[in-house]
């Protein structure tokens, strides 16, 4: 069964460094999402992406964040200058169309020191 994949599974970085989190959504899916989950808290929406552009973003998704679909398969989340409070599990999700459920990747645990 096709699944969403994410790399790396764990990333440790120093405050102020840039990180790129990578996702490969399910191949026939058209809508892509990034969520994050700070330890012990709710899963929170960051950004959605459709037709090669951002369709919606939350207040969390400020100028430090950007997303890109550089080719037909990868979907990336870049954090330009990481802060301690960016430490969280970052989940990528995708879905085929508006009426279908979202499928989540295994997540990248980002630790900012």
Partner 1 sequence: EDKVVQSPLSLVVHEGDTVTLNCSYEVTNFRSLLWYKQEKKAPTFLFMLTSSGIEKKSGRLSSILDKKELSSILNITATQTGDSAIYLCAVPSGNTPLVFGKGTRLSVIA
| Closer residue to partner 1 (CB): 14 or 52 | 52
Total residues at interface with partner 1 (CB under 8 A): 25
Considering the rule CB under 8 A, would residue 35 count as an interface residue with partner 1?
yes
Please report whether residue 25 would count as binding partner 1 according to CB under 8 A.
Answer: no
- Sheet hosting strand 75-79, strand order edge to edge: 5-7, 19-24, 75-79, 65-68
12 vs 43 by CB, closer to partner 1: 43
Q: Which helix H or strand E contains 49, and what residues bound it?
A: strand 43-50
Query: Which range in 11-19, 22-30, 48-56, 74-82 contacts partner 1 by CB under 8 A?
Result: 48-56
Rg for the chain (alpha carbons), in Å? 13
Cis peptide leading into 7, omega within 30 of 0?
no
Q: Which of 34, 16, 13, 6 is nearest to 111 (CA)?
A: 13
Of the ranges 16-24, 64-72, 79-87, 91-99, which one interacts with partner 1 (CB under 8 A)?
A: 91-99
What is the binding site for partner 1 (CB under 8 A)? 4, 31, 33, 35, 41-45, 48, 55-56, 58, 89, 91, 93, 98, 100-107
């Amino acid at each position: 069964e096709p699944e969403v994949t994410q790399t790396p599974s764990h990333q440790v970085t120093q405050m102020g460094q840039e990180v790129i989190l990578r996702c490969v959504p399910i191949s026939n899916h058209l809508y892509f999402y990034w969520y994050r989950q700070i330890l012990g808290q709710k899963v929170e929406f960051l950004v959605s992406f459709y037709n090669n552009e951002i369709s919606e973003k939350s207040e969390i998704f400020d100028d430090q964040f950007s997303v890109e679909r550089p080719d037909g398969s990868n979907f990336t989340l870049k954090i330009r200058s990481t802060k301690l409070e960016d430490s969280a599990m970052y989940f990528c999700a995708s879905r085929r169309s508006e009426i279908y459920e979202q499928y989540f990747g295994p997540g990248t645990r980002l630790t900012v020191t």
